[in-house]
Amino acid sequence: MNSTSKTAAADVLSPDLYDYDFENDPIATLGRLRREDPVHWSRHGFWYLTRYDDCAMVLKDPARFSSAAAGWGGGNPLATTATGGGQSKTEQGLSRTLAQSFNQMDAPDHTRVRALVVSAFSRRIIEDRRDRIQAVIDELLDAAGAKGRFDAITDFAFHVPIIVAGEIIGIPGEDREAFRAAFERTAALMAPKRSEESWAQALEAGRWVGRYVRDLIAERRRGPRDDLISALIAAEDEQGALSDAELSSAISTIYTAAGTTTERFISSGLFLLLSHADQWRALVADRALVGPAIEEILRFHHPTQSTSTNRRCTVDVELRGKTLRAGDTVRVGLGAANRDPEVFADPDRFDIARRPSQPALSFGAGPHFCIGAALARFEARLAIEAIVGRWPGLRLVTEAPVKDRRRHDRYSEIIVAVD
């Protein structure tokens, strides 16, 4: 380990990247890191990258930067290596199963599983569901709007991906809430063990989810339906390529990846638009701006803004005068890269008419590029179009949302008024 360069970096600037204050408002800290210490050795024992070029380079170089067992900062409880420490054999077994998620694999396993998921998760499947997604959005907005004043998160954005992704995957509507709640409880497996009780509850929830998904797969094997599970089984039968554990893990990964990211995308997007009155007015006047507005929302406020996507070095790598050792964890700061002034002019200005010359890294890059990018964009587009169409005079009541201390990287509330 190159302890000299790591220590030197820590002397210059040593933010606590796990601290609530950082999570609540990461932009200034990330900006300083990008300027002063772009290849930063965190006191928590990982590298944190903040420049666009470095982030893109790492994502596109799986040979030197592996996804295997790297942990996933994007907020996937089932795909993230449990950090509880002192695990029993059963706990280790569960962690291993969870870590089989294909987003934490390298080629050739990653390529094989991903190809099947992509084929079962095509743009056509999404487009085919346009009417249903629109109906979900309309029903939620009818109910929320009837209140006069509503929370864009709990009354709306929170439910959109849970219903949409749940239906695409094939989770029956009557189990939707139980499945979601159990999934949420497994999130404790990502964090250091707080108490025996919460850890045991999270493990139990993990087992419940595992059993539930296995049963669902067995049911779809007996009688396929028009859903992702059946499509994956069909692809598997054609190509004989997925083990049961891989299939079940792929489903869990997709469900997790689709949820809070999309919720934050829609709710913080609405907040950004409403809190920039000129931009909101421009969108109301010209609905064609909704496409670029969605891209700008993703760039300006990455749904996992304060966190990152992780890789592990397979070999020693020299980067901006630092030596990243084989085995070191590297966190790719997607939100930070999206504010890099070398790529985005005046990056801290929210501008829905922006036409960047390079894509934001919001959905990653390279072999692990987000499989749900088209779906997330589609849901956000339909949601924002519906809201602008219904309530061009929508008002923001919450002026400065803060992150919920209990819920990772998520705002507590964003209240809006329709009257």
Of 9 and 254, which has the nearer Cβ to ligand HEM? 254
CB atoms within 10 A of CB 264: 23
Among the listed ranges 1-9, 27-35, 255-263, 288-296, the one in contact with ligand HEM (CB under 6 A) is 255-263
Cα separation, 406 vs 403, whole angstroms = 9
Shortest spacing between CB 362 and ligand HEM, in angstroms: 5
- Binder among 262, 267, 305, 307 for ligand HEM (CB under 6 A): 262
Of 371 and 414, which has the nearer Cβ to ligand HEM? 371
Is the preceding omega at residue 108 within 30 degrees of 0, hence cis? yes
Residues 128-167 that bind ligand HEM (CB under 6 A): 165
- Hey, what are 294's tokens? 């969605």
Q: Is 39 in the site for ligand HEM (CB under 6 A)?
A: no
DSSP 3-state of 222: helix
- Binder among 29, 50, 66, 261 for ligand HEM (CB under 6 A): 261
Residues 48-67 that bind ligand HEM (CB under 6 A): 59, 67
User: Site for ligand HEM (CB under 6 A): how many residues?
Assistant: 26
Shortest spacing between CB 272 and ligand HEM, in angstroms: 13
Q: Is 17 in the site for ligand HEM (CB under 6 A)?
A: no
Q: Is 253 in the site for ligand HEM (CB under 6 A)?
A: yes
Residues 271-310 that bind ligand HEM (CB under 6 A): 303, 309
DSSP 206-217: HHHHHHHHHHHH
Binding string, residues 338-357; x marks residues near ligand HEM by CB under 6 A: --------------------
User: In whole angstroms, how far apart are CA 163 and each of 120, 137, 263, 291, 293?
Assistant: 19, 10, 11, 23, 24
Shortest spacing between CB 40 and ligand HEM, in angstroms: 19
Partners of 361 in the beta sheet? none
Q: For residues 379 and 266, is the Cβ–Cβ distance under 8 A?
A: yes
Q: For residues 129 and 163, is the Cβ–Cβ distance under 8 A?
A: no
Q: Is 235 in the site for ligand HEM (CB under 6 A)?
A: no
Contacts 24+ apart (CB under 8 A), 369-373: 370/257, 371/114, 371/117, 371/118, 371/121, 371/254, 371/257, 372/121, 372/165, 372/254, 372/257, 372/258, 372/261, 372/262
DSSP 35-78: HH-SEEE-TTSSEEE--HHHHHHHHT-TTTEE-TT---TTT-TT
Among the listed ranges 85-93, 183-191, 218-226, 366-374, the one in contact with ligand HEM (CB under 6 A) is 366-374
Shortest spacing between CB 72 and ligand HEM, in angstroms: 6
Residues 6+ apart with CB under 8 A from 200: none
Among the listed ranges 186-194, 261-269, 282-290, 318-326, the one in contact with ligand HEM (CB under 6 A) is 261-269
- Binder among 187, 235, 251, 371 for ligand HEM (CB under 6 A): 371
Among the listed ranges 80-88, 179-187, 231-239, 256-264, the one in contact with ligand HEM (CB under 6 A) is 256-264
Q: Is 336 in the site for ligand HEM (CB under 6 A)?
A: no
Of 87 and 134, which has the nearer Cβ to ligand HEM? 134
Q: For residues 170 and 229, is the Cβ–Cβ distance under 8 A?
A: yes
DSSP 3-state of 323: strand
Q: Is 248 in the site for ligand HEM (CB under 6 A)?
A: no
Shortest spacing between CB 67 and ligand HEM, in angstroms: 6
**Per-residue exposure over 52-65, b if at least 16 CB sit within 10 Å of its own CB, e if not:** bebbbbbbeebebb
Of 9 and 251, which has the nearer Cβ to ligand HEM? 251
Cα separation, 43 vs 51, whole angstroms = 19
The residue ranges that bind ligand HEM (CB under 6 A) are 59, 67, 74, 102-103, 114, 165, 253-254, 257-258, 261-262, 265, 303, 309, 334, 362-364, 368, 370-372, 375-376
